[in-house]
Amino acid sequence: MRQPWYPVDERYGLIFAYMGPAEKRPVLPAYECLETMDDGEFVEADDSSIGGGGPAVIPCNWLQHFENVVDPYHVPVLHGSFSGPQFTNMMASMPEVKFDKTPRGIAVRSIRKQDDGKVFYRVTEAVLPTLRVVPNPRVAQFARVESIGWTLPIDDTSFRIYVAGRVKNSGDIGRMRSKFNGKFWWDMTEAEHQQFPGDYEAQVGQGPQTIHSEEHFGQSDRGILMLRRMLTEQLDTMAADRDPIGVSFDASAPAVEFEAGNYIRNSSSLS
């Protein structure tokens, strides 16, 4: 007798398991933002759900977080208005937004005009099936995205985020974690959670599984609708025994490149 097992690969400090049919095993993708290092950088991994705004295991459906990646308007509202700027003043203003379907998911391009006539241009990407490609909301530098996170369901009502990113000092990934009123989420009182709500409160506050029949969408929710439609299309593709987007069987394929990042541009370069 033999215990069933799944093949695994180690990359970026994380272990990836393939759990599908052996004859359909794809190549584990490499990502340019974790392959090409700037001076003094190395890759560090974290399993504490950075980006989730709360504890390591988050008690709600993973889509309630993943859809948040394509909701740029929540940044100035939740992170800018309720209790003052939680990231940086640059992120607190309402952006002009364009949503685009890409070969791997949904890209959100946000434009914020600056007083000096230049433009703060920010791109985030939701990459199917679970990858959140979100540049640092504190805008520590104007550059390509520093880290990516795998939003992995544990079951229907809980998930965890595994992050890998380029750093110059050990522990830098953990230092990306948000603080509210100068405190980490787990150090805050219940009153402080109510006074300084973040992504955790907004997403878990919808319940373990949000009730979609009670939703009322507006134009600002276009990215969420695009993402749901794309997820449905990919489920239909797999049901028809075809390969979903993002799957490659070419071991010589180049590393996946993302547009995501924080950039400063002249307004004329965006026309």
**What pTM, to 2 d.p., does this model score?**
0.91
What would the mean pLDDT of 219-234 be, rounded to a whole number? Answer: 94
Residue ranges covered by each domain of the chain: 29-266
| Alpha-carbon distances, residue 244 vs 104, 108, 236, 262 (angstroms) | 10, 21, 9, 29
Which residues face 160 on adjacent strands?
152
User: 8: pLDDT confidence band, cut at 50, 70 and 90?
Assistant: very high
User: 83: pLDDT confidence band, cut at 50, 70 and 90?
Assistant: low
Whether 271 has a pLDDT exceeding 60, the answer reads no
Whether 193 has a pLDDT exceeding 60, the answer reads yes
User: 73: pLDDT confidence band, cut at 50, 70 and 90?
Assistant: confident
CB of 133 within 8 A of CB of 258? yes
Question: From CA 185, how far away is CA 200, in angstroms rounded?
Answer: 9
Task: Give the percent of the chain with pLDDT over 70.
Answer: 95
Q: Under CATH, which architecture does the 29-266 domain have?
A: Alpha-Beta Complex (3.90)
